[in-house]
Amino acid sequence: MTATSHRLHGSVPVKEAGPARSTSVNAGRALAVLRIAAGLTFLWAFADKLFGLGFSTKAGKGWIDGGDPTAGFLGKGATGPFASFYHSLVGDFWVSPLFMIGLAGIGLAVTLGIGMRIAAVAGTVLYLLMWSASLPLETNPVLDDHIIGAITLVALALVAAGNVWGFGRQWAELPIVERYPWLR
């Protein structure tokens, strides 16, 4: 590679010449915007459920007010073949903390572009659980926003989207991450 080379995503070299350079740089930026937006959706859900901001969680019903951030969705929103399983989880001592830690952790990791592999796996599991709790789907028999979100997280991790406008490169250079590459 020459001095005019540019590394867009980890080990994928992209030559800086003509239209390919601007397309690749612009694609990296577009993926960075998508990554940040995806991360902020998790952080928003966390904040709304924590404080009861009046959107998905009514004011005064936030987790800090003693509300259960999973009771509405699991207790009333779960439908279909897995409804009884999800209803049985309502009120279990471990469900709300695990859910809230998941929302915050996935949201921070994806927004900052760190730990994208772990965040993609955790986010995909969370999305698939929420998808299975919503069966049967109302507008499309297979796909909904949860499946699209899961695919998005996997794609963002695969292209190392945390390296553009994020801390993915710095994260990858940490000794523990170099020793255990699955932490990327």
Q: What are the tens digits of pLDDT across the range 58-79? A: 999 999 999 999 998 999 889 9
Which tens digit of pLDDT belongs to each residue from 132-143? Answer: 999 998 888 889
Mean pLDDT of 5-15: 43
* Biggest CA-to-CA distance, the chain: 61
Distance CA 11, CA 67 (A): 46
Measured CA distances, 170 to 105, 116, 177 (Å): 18, 13, 10
What pLDDT score does 86 carry?
96
Amino acid, res. 49: K
Q: For residues 131-166, b (16+ Cβ closer than 10 Å) or e, as one string?
A: bebbeeeeeeeeebebbebbebbbebbebbbbbbeb
What pLDDT score does 137 carry?
87
pLDDT tier for residue 170 given thresholds of 50, 70 and 90: very high
Supply the mean pLDDT for the chain.
Answer: 89
Q: Is the pLDDT of residue 42 over 60?
A: yes
What pLDDT score does 10 carry?
46
Query: Are the beta carbons of 17 and 3 closer than 8 angstroms?
Result: no
Query: Are the beta carbons of 121 and 165 closer than 8 angstroms?
Result: no
What pLDDT score does 14 carry?
43
Amino acid, res. 21: R
What pLDDT score does 17 carry?
40
What pLDDT score does 23 carry?
56
Query: Are the beta carbons of 120 and 127 closer than 8 angstroms?
Result: no
Cα dihedral 34→142→88→74 (10° resolution): 40
pLDDT tier for residue 149 given thresholds of 50, 70 and 90: very high
- The percent of residues in the chain predicted with pLDDT above 90, rounded, is 79
Comparing CA positions, the residue from 119, 112, 107 lying closest to residue 158 is: 119
Mean pLDDT of 90-115: 97
Backbone phi, then psi, for 160, in 5-degree steps? 55, 50
Classify residue 96 by burial, with Cβ atoms within 10 Å: 0-12, 13-18, 19+. Answer: buried
Amino acid, res. 119: A
- Number of separate domains in the chain: 1
Distance CA 70, CA 75 (A): 8
Domain enclosing residue 126, as ranges:
5-183
Q: Is the pLDDT of residue 169 over 70?
A: yes
Q: Is 175 helix (H, G, I), strand (E, B) or coil?
A: helix
What pLDDT score does 9 carry?
43
Amino acid, res. 84: S
